[in-house]
Amino acid sequence: MVARHDQTTDPRLQEQLLQARRGTAFFARKLNELTDAELDDDSLLPGWTRRHVVAHVGYNARAIARLIEWAATGVETPMYPSVEVRNHEIGFGATLSPIALRNLFDHSAVHLNVEWRDLAADSWHHKVKTVQGRTVPAEETVWMRTREVWVHAVDLNNGATFKDIPAPVLERLLTDITSAWHARGTDKGLVVEITGGTSPLTFGDSAGMSPTVVSGSLPAIAQWATGRGTDGTTARHDGGPATPTPPAPAWI
């Protein structure tokens, strides 16, 4: 049998698909390291067990696959009928038996991968709509999934950290987060500095007066910016002494 390959020949998109698939494999590895009983334990997300995280990631793959079907056929197929339906779905998925929950993740990931692989090259530019109501080209679904699998692999609370996430993913994640802050005006007086790299990265209100500067390594800053802890970060106001790092503004 002849192997089937992605229809797209865009090298940038091919690299993004590879990063999403690597993230899926990483999530799968952290999930498979857990026993069935350990699925009942807490995740790093308040109010969610590991079961909720797995259910969310599984149903997310199905939802994104619906967007790819929309791009392929032109027939509008929303991710979810509503946010309420999405939340109910996750709650239901968390009650599944361990084998059913694991199958949900496995089968939904394969389904999404097939939808991506078989999407015609010219259909990647077709517009679809996210659950937040944003209209985006279908190629944006690759980043949407990349972000989900890498970050939620950490949320499984099974030893993965932001240090395991590739730097290009963290950089794009920070760009997304700081752009959301800027759009809402919640980044006023806040500058984020990435230390320890070959070239410095700065995000936030760099033109503001007397800013609070939060600094740290790329993984530490990404962890803080996503609301998952302040370890490895420091904060200074207007060039003064270090102070406790404030919570990051909400980004979702």
Q: Which residues of 183-202 are buried (b: 16+ CB within 10 A; e: fewer)?
A: eeeebeebbbbbeeeeeeee
At 198 the pLDDT is 67
Q: Residue 153: what pLDDT?
A: 98
CB 29 within 8 A of CB 178: no
Query: What fold does the segment set 11-160 form as a domain?
Result: Four Helix Bundle (Hemerythrin (Met), subunit A) (1.20.120)
Q: What's the CA gap between 193 and 234, in Å, rounded?
A: 10
pTM over 0.85: yes
Q: Which of 29-33, 44-48, 102-106, 130-134 has the lowest mean pLDDT?
A: 130-134
* Neighbouring-strand partners of residue 206: none
Instruction: Tally the C-alpha atoms within 13 A of residue 132's C-alpha that lie toward its C-beta.
Output: 6
CA–CA separation, 94 vs 137, rounded Å? 31
Provide the residue ranges of all domains of the chain, joining segments of one domain with +.
Answer: 11-160, 167-243
Cα gap 25→61, rounded to integer Å? 13
Span between the terminal Cα atoms of the chain, in Å: 44
Integer Cα distance of 202 and 193 in angstroms? 5
CATH 3.30.1050.20 at 167-243, yes or no: yes
Specify the pLDDT at position 82: 85
Q: Give the mean pLDDT of 103-126.
A: 97
Share of the chain above pLDDT 70, in %: 98
